[in-house]
Structure 1
């Protein structure tokens, strides 16, 4: 049970930081036992990479929705563009869903670590 820093992001996600201290089980220099415990939690003022990707895709999706509504106000001459934008939105929705599932899976794993601040 070797000790590491934990970096906690503003969104609640986390990642392991630097190695800090060996436990009594590991006698080899430069090696860790494989069990990680938190030495200290370091708050990070920004969101994790997954949340940043989700935010970026949400902004892109909002821009596509705005373009569609603008084209619909101007009439039927942009039908092909509207269809293409709808496909982009469907693709973005799938990517956002996948990233959200990955993020939720990581956050479920943090519950066990929360008991050790």
Structure 2
């Protein structure tokens, strides 16, 4: 994904920079609108390689993982959840609690996410 605009692209640039190869590949990128669009380029043969989240690669039957960036090569990838102070929706707190429940954590695990 686009390293100047999309989180996945920013993580990819951070990793490639940390590994010392950013300058060598920066001019050969096909920046995409988002991580799924980047993966679609690989799925359709328009790009030989792509950098995507492991959870996205796992969701596709048309790509295979050939490498994984070291966790230390990029900032932590987090998906925060918060109950907004102004929220008046009656299900908001229940949904937040569900995400951290045993059942919610099992769903996260099934799709390749670490437990919240």
Tell me the TM-score normalised to structure 2 length. Answer: 0.25
Name the structure with the higher strand share.
1
Query: Where is the helix percentage greater, Structure 1 or Structure 2?
Result: 1
What is the TM-score of this pair, normalised by structure 1?
Answer: 0.25
Which has the bigger relative contact order, CA under 8 A and spacing at least 6?
A: 1
Name the larger-Rg structure: 1
